[in-house]
Structure 1
Amino acid sequence: MDVLLVSVTPDLAEMRALLRSAGHRIVDEIVQRRDRPHPRTFVGRGKLEEVRARVARGDVQVVVFHGELRPTMHHHLERELGVECYDRLRVILELFAQRAQTREAQLQVEFALLRYEVPLLREWVHEADVGERPGFMAGGEQRVDAYYETVKRRIKKIRDELDAIRKERSLRRSVRKGRGYHLAALAGYANAGKSSLLNALTGERVRVEERMFSTLSTTTRAIEDAPRRVLLTDTVGLVDGIPFWMVEAFQATLEEIFEADLVLLLLDASDSEAEIRRKARLAARTLLPRIDADRVLPILSKADLLEEGTLEGKTRVLEDTEFRRQPLILSSETGIGLDDLREAVRLAFVQPLEVHLVLSQDPEGAARLHWLHENAEVVSAIHRPDRVEVVVRCRPRDLATVESSGRVVLRRDLSP
């Protein structure tokens, strides 16, 4: 569609990329510098008149506002301008809908779209003159009210289906860990090179596209030549400034990151220092409430695109963020840094301490054994009538918790 882009900031690079990826053509841009959007009209009255005049000139099917439109604002702007109005989140959801290929991805996107619609529907129900609204909501307040109830029922049905998918994923992770696999996950923003790295580490040929959010469904493969069995999962790209309900929609996918033993956080090395800092802090806000920082390995990807003399500054930026560690530098395209990454993955899963434990043969002992399977490497578990004899290997940071699981018979360090 032909769109008019309206913004209160001149920084439009991401929004332009989103619109292009969604298949829209930007016919014009109107920018008004403001500290924050106007609460009713997004831009000031004078600038809104400019927007209205541009729409009246023709070839504008949708006005896209670079920011968030609250329901009242959205309703008011559509009535004022006489065309459909989108905000940034609506464009992202449209993009997700285009990319969704699997049943799970389609459910997640539909859930997010419906949750996005609900506040808008409430606003239309609230308005006495909804019958004047053109398009799918035409027909009056009763018709919108009926649609609102249908949407709520559909949301409940999808939530139940997604909960079932989450439980199935959780079971799959437990089975993999029980079989001795370590789980690693790729995280990062759109076009950070996650799928390319998955291919480089696993020898697979997962489709790689230079477009935003090309990966909505997870892909899990074994890392080649790993001294231990390590499974690597590619996940949906992180998104700036999304509301809680959108996180809920993609919770089953995001849990592949939160439940991983190691998270490889990719940041595009060709971005500016300011952009790398911004993305790292937003990633920390998403990841660190759920996982420890020492489980996150920051990576500056696409090193082949680095401008000369910029590496040191960009490395320092990541050292100063919440992750507090020096990033690895790599390029999946040229192979730079891949050996260093393989070694870092190997070291992350080294479990040099072996503990022989005796657990009670009761529900409490079973719960502790389950924890050991999830968080350490259970070498053997022999079930006796009155006890369970367990041999566990773990990392130093987990030693105290492992030893508190039962009576310690033997502890030894297997480090070379």
Structure 2
Amino acid sequence: MIVEQLSLVDFRNYAAADVALAPGPNVFVGRNGQGKTNLAEAIGYLATLGSHRVSQDAPMVRDGADAAIVRARLAHGERRVLLETQINRSGSNKARVNGSPVKSAELPRHAHVVLFAPEDLQIVRGDPAGRRRSADQLLIQRSPRMSAVIADYERVLKQRNALLKSARARGMRAESLSTLDVWDDKLVQLGTEVIRARCALAVDLAAPSRDAYTTIAGADHGASAEWMLSVAGADPEDSLEDAAVTDRADEGVVPDRDSVTHSFRAALVAKRSNELERGVTLVGPHRDDLVLRLRDLPVRGYASHGESWSVALSLRLASAHLLRAQSALGDPILILDDVFAELDADRRTRLAAVAADFEQVIVTAAVEADVPGALRARTVQVAAGTILQPDAGATASGVLPAPGEGPAE
């Protein structure tokens, strides 16, 4: 799969932009703050319905505008598909596929993108929320229906938390709050599906992530990842260091539905009094963590800077190989957003060798010389939200249709 053409309207610092891309490596070069990463972010959004930089959509809409539009023409062999999304500052987003209105959740069915950026280091070293969000974005690409499941879970969680806060304010006791049982049923049903999908993802990523780590780092440090489940007694949000040693899902095992459902219900019963005291739901996939390890020690707090980078890279490369193996769309589009400046020469060379194997690679860099020669087949300059004339090696391509009135659902 490749992006042949990208068009933006009122997205980040772009009032309007059109850029053609080619198979193989494409490098966007420009000083910091000019809009290179915005191009990568726009492509990634079509595949994940989210940003690798912010958790909300509003910051992606240009200042002074009510909505941003992203269009991309994708090619897989002889097949072409035009994806469009209208990102609204407020209200629901809208989408089209080949000009026909669709629900936004349909877009990831047509676009597979794996994006690696400096922010990924915080996924490895930061709070559990970043790891959950990263895993869920891959889940959505792997199975687009999970977008609706995750959204429904978050909606039910919000309603349940609102009820808990109201009950706390009114001084209600646990035994008198029968309404909570209804929300518990919905939370367990949806949460069980999220938990099992995440565990299955970790199992499938295990071998490719170990292989990718060895390739990037040049050494086998026993990289592994497993979910620490709050329904099984762990609470990474409160005490990561204690829970990192115990209370984790068995590596290589996807828990069956009945066992997860039973554990979830039991945990909700056990925590109900505490939840009423705090006004928040204390168990469920929103409290889980993906524990990353090297040499059987948590990466967070134990790994060096270089090792942490290698773990982050290996997770993204493993994701790309997983999508390549399972998707009928061919290779995912691999995006390397401003990462080469952070790597030593050896890791740059190793990463470039792996990346060059993908059908299309999009690289952003402040300094072109930071990008290994193997990935500098085509270079495009970016300055102040403007795409400058590509170099002589660029491949010409048509321009996407004019925005018109934008997508409508």
TM-score using structure 2 length: 0.25
Larger RCO (CA within 8 A; separation ≥ 6) = 2
Which has more radius of gyration?
1
With normalisation by structure 1, the TM-score equals 0.25
